């Protein structure tokens, strides 16, 4: 199917989408501005780290590469929501993944930061810092990428 937008690049389409989301949010049509950040993060992580996406029904991880399982999370920073908290992770305590790869996007979907954190490091951070906290309401751990303890894991 041909579209009037076919001539636009991926980044041009994402920037247009960002403008559409902003307008929809201003008109109070939507409350969130965070998608399609998750899909974009998975695509970029697979390209950058030479990973293969797992099937959508796979529990605990999103991609595989180098014999390791990677969980991929994302966060899109907006004027209304500058939070650096990742979505709830219910699998840190289990052996379901080896690395957490987190992409932080600017509002226009350009990459601001990339983090790659070993699961063992997350477990240590749970014990020693507030960079990874437990949410009773959501029954899982929340990673705060804004914490200085995580700076060493930032690769971009």
Asked if residue 1 is part of any domain, the answer here is no
- The total of structural domains in the chain comes to 1
Asked if residue 4 is part of any domain, the answer here is no
Peptide bond into 55 cis (omega under 30): no
Asked if residue 118 is part of any domain, the answer here is yes
Confidence class of residue 90 from pLDDT cuts 50, 70 and 90? confident
Average pLDDT over residues 17-28: 88
Average pLDDT over residues 22-30: 83
What's the token pair of residue 130? 């507030």
Give residue 34's pLDDT: 60
Is residue 32 over pLDDT 70? no
Calculate ∠ Cα 33-35-40, nearest 5°: 135
Answer for the pair 70, 45: CB distance below 8 angstroms, yes or no.
Answer: yes
Q: In 2-156, at which residue ranges do the beta strands (DSSP E only) sit? A: 52-53, 63-65, 68-76, 99-105, 111-118, 132-135, 140-143
The residues with which 103 forms a beta bridge, in sequence order, are 74, 114
CATH code where residue 101 lies: 3.40.1350
Confidence class of residue 57 from pLDDT cuts 50, 70 and 90? confident
Give residue 97's pLDDT: 95
Answer for the pair 60, 94: CB distance below 8 angstroms, yes or no.
Answer: yes
Asked if residue 133 is part of any domain, the answer here is yes
Q: Which domain holds residue 39?
A: 34-153
Asked if residue 13 is part of any domain, the answer here is no
Tell me the C-alpha distance between 50 and 71, whole Å: 14
Asked if residue 53 is part of any domain, the answer here is yes
Residue 95, number of CB atoms within 10 A of its CB = 9
What's the token pair of residue 106? 């600017």
122 contacts: CB under 8 Å, gap ≥ 6: 92, 100, 132, 141, 143
Average pLDDT, the chain: 91
Give residue 67's pLDDT: 94
Asked if residue 11 is part of any domain, the answer here is no
Is residue 124 over pLDDT 90? yes
């Amino acid at each position: 199917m041909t579209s009037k937008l076919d001539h636009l690049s991926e980044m041009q389409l994402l920037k247009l989408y960002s403008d559409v989301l902003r307008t929809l949010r201003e008109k109070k049509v939507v409350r969130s501005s965070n998608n399609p950040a998750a899909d974009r993060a998975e695509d970029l992580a697979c390209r950058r780290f030479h990973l293969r996406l797992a099937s959508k029904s796979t529990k605990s991880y999103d991609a595989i590469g180098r014999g390791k399982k990677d969980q991929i999370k994302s966060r899109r920073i907006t004027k209304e929501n500058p939070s650096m908290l990742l979505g709830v992770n219910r699998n840190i305590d289990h052996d379901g993944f080896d690395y957490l790869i987190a992409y932080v996007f600017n509002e226009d979907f350009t990459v601001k930061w990339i983090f790659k954190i070993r699961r063992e490091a997350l477990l240590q951070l749970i014990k020693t810092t507030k960079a990874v906290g437990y949410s009773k309401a959501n029954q899982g751990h929340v990673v705060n990428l804004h914490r200085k303890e995580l700076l060493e894991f930032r690769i971009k």
